[in-house]
Chains A and B, each alone.
Chain A
Amino acid sequence: MDEPHSSRREFLVRSLSGVSSAWLALQWPAVLAAHEHARMAASSSSPAAFQFLSAEQAIEVDAAAAQIIPADDTPGAHEAHVVYFVDRALVTFDRDKQPNYTQGLKDLQAKVVEMFPQAGKFSALEAAQQVKVLQAIEHSEFFELLRLHTIMGFLASPEYGGNYQQIGWNLIGFENKPVYSPPFGYYDAEYDKGH
């Protein structure tokens, strides 16, 4: 994928090339800080224009994703820019799923009109109505695909366009560091204290 910003891996490679592990051990905190800086710079870049979805389609996908992983006291799929992940997936590794979205969004629209004739669009529905519509289609192939892409866009590397500012990783408690030191969790920390 052609990225405007340096990926974590590229950064690591540049940091590590020609470097001994002894040097690295000494310099590690500084390397980490620089890595963090690069990562934040990467994830604050403004989202690119949509490449497959139309603006109208993107609004619908965004609204549906936001019900699959909703915002409550913490951000959800909308805040994580999942729709940008979906758009990018549909012009890269999941190119062959384009027709599923074209048709799936039409079917979603039809279901909205059937259930709430006044609203016209999924995105225009109240949250409770959106949930009802998704419940009506939750066993469809399109919903399964949308759910899969929402989860992927929420938890894949931000390099793919979603998981903005690591919102997904922050939610689950995954730190994405290249180095950790023991103790790692509650029980091994407790065990260490006892020994």
Chain B
Amino acid sequence: MKPWTFCVLLLGLFSQAAFGEEAFDLLSDDDDFSFEAPASQAETAQTVEHSPLKYSLDHSASVRLGGPAEMVNHRSGLNLEYAGPLSESTYTKVDVTGSLYWSQDHQAKTKKKQFDADGLIREAWVQKSDGQLSYKLGFQSIVWGDVEGSQATDTLNPVDNREFLFVDFEDVRIGQGTLSVAGFGDKFSFEAFVTPTPGYNKNPPTGSIYAPANPFAGLPVRSDLPQEPEYGFRGKGKIGLAEAALLLAKLTPNQSNFELTSAGLLETAAPFWLVGLNLNYPIGQTLLKADVGYKTDQGINNQTFGLVHKDRLDTALGIESTIEQHSIFASVTVNNVMQWEPGLVGKPQSGYYNLGWSKAYLHDDLTLNLGGFGMLNAGGQILNGQAQYQINDQWQVSTALFVIQVTDSDSPFYAFKDEHRLECKAKVQF
């Protein structure tokens, strides 16, 4: 199927039929109209109980531009979500998704298959509320951080890196089997968690067009990943108008490291401590945000592909504001490697910035977004524009254009270099 067939022209302007000045007889109801409500509306108005089940189907296609147009994504998805109370004080949510990759999709092409499929449990948990405490057990995501798009402290869950630059932010986290406890007071709340067997990021498979270059292909790989649990605590409170949270966690890196040894490649992931701070402060219609995370023992390769461990300070600052219904967002994240030494791969200071603008049109049916992402101290930026149109309560279509330029071969995004991509998607939800 041609990708262009999914590209629906979204923009249209409703004509506005303005009424002329009317003369009123103020006490007459002659100028009042009676409204005939459609049957569906009358039925919905009576509905109080709602199905705890919802599902969505989507289909998307993406083409690479800039050279001969090539389809890179062609896939269908099914998402099922059940959310509802189990008893007086317990609640459950199950959110599973399945994807079918058609023959032109790079995921199927990599495996030389006519089609490929996979599934993911995003969330599957039971929550119990008891007095001031709440317990949650099962597959879940824990988001610690105020600055969207920054991993300064929002680094608890692994992420789907297979197409990192193109995955919706809301779909990128991968749930983990976790027990979390939250406590709520008038001015203070806390959250603690333990994840017995932490997971790792999903990376592009070998042979994928988005797999990073591997200079050691063919060498034997031995995995020595730790089996230690992750655990942590976050306390949150208010100081005047500001909301602040302090956090402490023992974590396993979501992205494993590779080290060259005499026996081949060794895959490791050194557990580390995260000490962090989240802060937000509103000034009128502007919100200032900051996340600061100090992480011990971060693995960095040297030029002989050995592995050394250094502490790192990640600082993210963000601002979001609404000006005449235009939403704007900007953030910058700076990563400082402590006690940097010559011979290490990368730079002692790196980082990235995010810029965004969004506005709704046509009675909120059409949303336009523009975004920019760029790397500091390294060559690379991504610009994207997206239009999303809600046709009715069930159907939604969207189109997005990504323009990517990555010149730094050390960048984790180098596999996406010079890719311009047009994406079209249709989704129906019930």
Task: Answer yes or no: are A and B bound together in one complex.
Answer: no
**Residue positions of B touching A, CB distance < 8 A:** none
Residues of A within 8 A of B (CB): none
